[in-house]
Amino acid sequence: MGLLDLPAPLFGWIDGQLSHILPSFLVVLIWASVASIASMELYRLLSPQARIAELRVALKGAQERLGEFDGPFEEAGGLIRNMLGLALKRVFLVLPSTLIASLPLLTLILWLDSSYARTMPPEGQSVTVRASGNYGGEWVEDRPAPRAIVKDANGTTIADVPVKAPVPVVHKKQWWNYIIGNPIGYLADEAPVDEIEIDLPKREIVTAGPSWARGWEIIFFPALILMSFAAKSIRRIE
């Protein structure tokens, strides 16, 4: 488990409770609504709202003065520098709180992608397993979890991965896995293969429309943007 995966058990528990009573598309919609409101409120609490408002007014005034200036371009340098300076001050003022407020949202998006992007195949359905190098892959149904097995040309098993979650890729552990982990683990460092791809079926949240528009993203991100703008407007967040 990586650093950004620490909230995953809590997300999973909440999602399980909601999924008992609501269809998947409504659950994803709820996640988007909660994420947008929580992120905007966290940003509001962490950011110097009064100072940001002052800079917004000052920047608007600088833009108006530059727009009304009708002298030669060479004499507009001071107005341009003032406007750009105010704009950069505003960016640097909101950047720290924006980055911090985005971290909970990032953890949720990572969890949603590992939980909603793919699904485990029904029993009896064949699944393609591919491995790097000249090796053959095989999907084996088993309990408590199916396994992705990779064998060499002699039929010797060189990798045996229990697929405990619908994750389509397993590889050797990299440095960034300390930040973002793989729910089904990693290949051994001494394994002759670096990566295994598992062709798990895509999970469809929407039942109509083209196949590329049936995943969780088509609901989550538009709802997230709309709810964020709504929260910003209602709470008058700078």
Nearest to 114 by CA among 4, 224, 20: 4
- The total number of structural domains in the chain stands at 2
Rounded to whole angstroms, how far apart are CA atoms 71 and 68?
9
How do residues 123-181 score in pLDDT, each as one tens digit?
888 889 998 778 888 898 888 889 899 988 888 888 898 999 999 999 999 999 999 99
87-135 pLDDT, tens digit per residue, is 899 999 999 999 999 999 999 999 999 999 999 888 888 889 998 778 8
Q: Helix 24-46 vs helix 8-19: angle between axes, to the nearest 10 degrees?
A: 140
Q: pLDDT tens for residues 59-68?
A: 888 888 877 7
Residue of 58, 116, 115 lying closest to 88 (CA atoms): 58
Residues in the chain, total: 238
Looking at the fold, whether 168 and 73 belong to one and the same domain comes out as no
Q: Is residue 124 part of a domain?
A: no
Q: Report helix, strand and coil shares of the chain as percent, to nearest 5.
A: 55, 15, 35
Whether 61 and 36 share a structural domain: yes
pLDDT-derived band at 70, boundaries 50, 70, 90 = confident
Higher-pLDDT residue of 69 and 47 is 47
Asked if 89 and 184 sit in the same domain, the reply is no
Residue 191 belongs to what domain range? 129-198
Would you state the pLDDT for residue 74?
Answer: 67
166: left (phi over 0), alpha (psi -120 to 50) or beta: beta
Are 56 and 93 members of one domain?
Answer: yes
Share of the chain above pLDDT 90, in %: 55
